[in-house]
Chain A
Amino acid sequence: MTIALRTLDDGAWISVNDSRQVSVSDVWTLSRGVFCDCEPAYVLLEGFVDVGVDGSIVTADAVGQCLDCGTRDSIDRLPIGQIVDGEFEPYGPEGVQSLVEPGR
Chain B
Amino acid sequence: MPTDVEQWKDELYGTDIRAEIEHFAENGWESIPDDEQDAWFERFKWYGLYHQRAGQESYFMMRIGPPGGVLEPGQFRRIVEIADEFSRGPATNPEFGNGWLDVTTRQAIQLHWIRLEDVPEIFEQLEDVGLSTVQACGDSWRNIVGCPVAGKDKHEHVDADALATDLHDTFKENEAHSNLPRKWKVSVTGCDEGCGQGDINDLAFEPAEKEIDGESVTGYNVRVGGGLSRNEPRFARNIDVFATPEQAVEVAGGISALFRDHGDRENRYNARIKFLVDEWGPEKLRETLQEEYIDFELETAGEDLRDSYSYNAGEADGKHDHVGVHEQVDGNYYVGLNVLVGRIGVDDGYALADAAEEHGSGEVRLTQRQNIILTDVAEENVDDLRAEPVLEDYSPDPHPFQRGSIACTGTEFCSLSIVETKNRQVRYGRWLTENVTLPEGVENFHIHLSGCTASCAQPQIADVSLRGMKTRKNGEPVEALDIGLGGGLGEEPQFASWVTERVPADEVPGAIANLLENFAEARDSDEQSFREFVADRDDEELADLIEPEETNYEDPFMHNTKRTWYPYAEEDGLDESPAPARADGTPIPSDD
Interface of A with B (CB < 8 Å)? 4, 6, 8-13, 15, 17-20, 23-27, 42, 44, 46-47, 49, 65, 67-68, 70
* CB contact under 8 A between A68 and B416, given known A4-B35, A20-B54, A42-B477: no
Stretch at the interface among B362-370, B467-475, B510-518: B467-475
Number of A-B residue pairs at CB separation under 8 A: 68
Please determine whether A17 and B415 come into contact, CB atoms closer than 8 angstroms: no
Decide yes or no whether B501 CB sits under 8 A from chain A: yes
Interface of B with A (CB < 8 Å)? 4, 34-38, 42, 54, 230, 268-269, 415-418, 452-454, 468-472, 477, 501-502, 560, 562-563
Please determine whether B472 and A67 come into contact, CB atoms closer than 8 angstroms: yes
Please determine whether B415 and A13 come into contact, CB atoms closer than 8 angstroms: yes
**CA gap between A91 and B452 in the complex, in Å:** 24
B interface majority secondary structure: mixed
Please determine whether B472 and A25 come into contact, CB atoms closer than 8 angstroms: no
* CB contact under 8 A between A6 and B452, given known A25-B416, A67-B472: no
What 9 A-B pairs are tightest by C-beta distance, nearest first? A12-B415, A25-B418, A18-B37, A12-B416, A27-B477, A44-B470, A18-B38, A6-B4, A18-B35
Of the candidates B54, B416, B501, B562, which one forms a contact with A70 in the assembled complex, judged by CB atoms under 8 Å apart? B501
Please determine whether A24 and B471 come into contact, CB atoms closer than 8 angstroms: no
Of the candidates A10, A20, A42, which one forms a contact with B454 in the assembled complex, judged by CB atoms under 8 Å apart? A10
**CA gap between A70 and B502 in the complex, in Å:** 9
Q: How far is the CB of A95 from chain B (nearest CB, A)?
A: 15
Chain B residue with the shortest CB-CB distance to A15: B38
15 inter-chain pairs at a CB distance below 8 angstroms, sorted by A residue, are: A6-B4, A6-B38, A10-B268, A10-B269, A11-B416, A12-B415, A13-B415, A19-B37, A20-B415, A23-B415, A25-B418, A26-B563, A44-B469, A47-B453, A67-B472
**CA gap between A49 and B3 in the complex, in Å:** 12
| Known A11-B269, A67-B470; further 12 A-B contacts with Cβ < 8 A | A4-B35, A4-B38, A10-B269, A15-B38, A17-B34, A19-B37, A25-B452, A44-B470, A46-B453, A49-B269, A67-B502, A70-B502
**CA gap between A73 and B208 in the complex, in Å:** 42
Chain B residue contacts of A24, Cβ below 8 A: 415-416
Please determine whether B501 and A9 come into contact, CB atoms closer than 8 angstroms: no
**CA gap between A13 and B562 in the complex, in Å:** 13
Chain A residue with the shortest CB-CB distance to B51: A9
Q: How far is the CB of B54 from chain A (nearest CB, A)?
A: 5
Please determine whether A18 and B472 come into contact, CB atoms closer than 8 angstroms: no
Q: How far is the CB of B268 from chain A (nearest CB, A)?
A: 7
Of the candidates B4, B416, B501, B560, which one forms a contact with A10 in the assembled complex, judged by CB atoms under 8 Å apart? B416
**CA gap between A7 and B269 in the complex, in Å:** 12
Q: How far is the CB of A27 from chain B (nearest CB, A)?
A: 5
Chain B residue contacts of A47, Cβ below 8 A: 230, 416, 453
Candidate in B4, B269, B415 with the most chain A CB atoms within 10 angstroms:
B415
Please determine whether B268 and A67 come into contact, CB atoms closer than 8 angstroms: no
Chain B residue contacts of A8, Cβ below 8 A: 38, 42
Chain B residue contacts of A17, Cβ below 8 A: 34-35
Please determine whether B417 and A25 come into contact, CB atoms closer than 8 angstroms: yes
Please determine whether A9 and B416 come into contact, CB atoms closer than 8 angstroms: yes
Please determine whether A9 and B470 come into contact, CB atoms closer than 8 angstroms: no
**CA gap between A8 and B39 in the complex, in Å:** 10
**CA gap between A12 and B454 in the complex, in Å:** 11
**CA gap between A2 and B502 in the complex, in Å:** 41
Chain A residue contacts of B54, Cβ below 8 A: 13, 20, 23
Chain B residue with the shortest CB-CB distance to A24: B416
Please determine whether A26 and B562 come into contact, CB atoms closer than 8 angstroms: yes
Chain B residue contacts of A68, Cβ below 8 A: 472
Chain B residue contacts of A9, Cβ below 8 A: 415-416
Of the candidates B34, B453, B454, B471, which one forms a contact with A18 in the assembled complex, judged by CB atoms under 8 Å apart? B34
Chain B residue contacts of A25, Cβ below 8 A: 416-418, 452, 468, 470, 562
Chain A residue contacts of B560, Cβ below 8 A: 26
Please determine whether B38 and A23 come into contact, CB atoms closer than 8 angstroms: no
**CA gap between A68 and B475 in the complex, in Å:** 11
Q: How far is the CB of A66 from chain B (nearest CB, A)?
A: 10
Please determine whether B416 and A18 come into contact, CB atoms closer than 8 angstroms: no
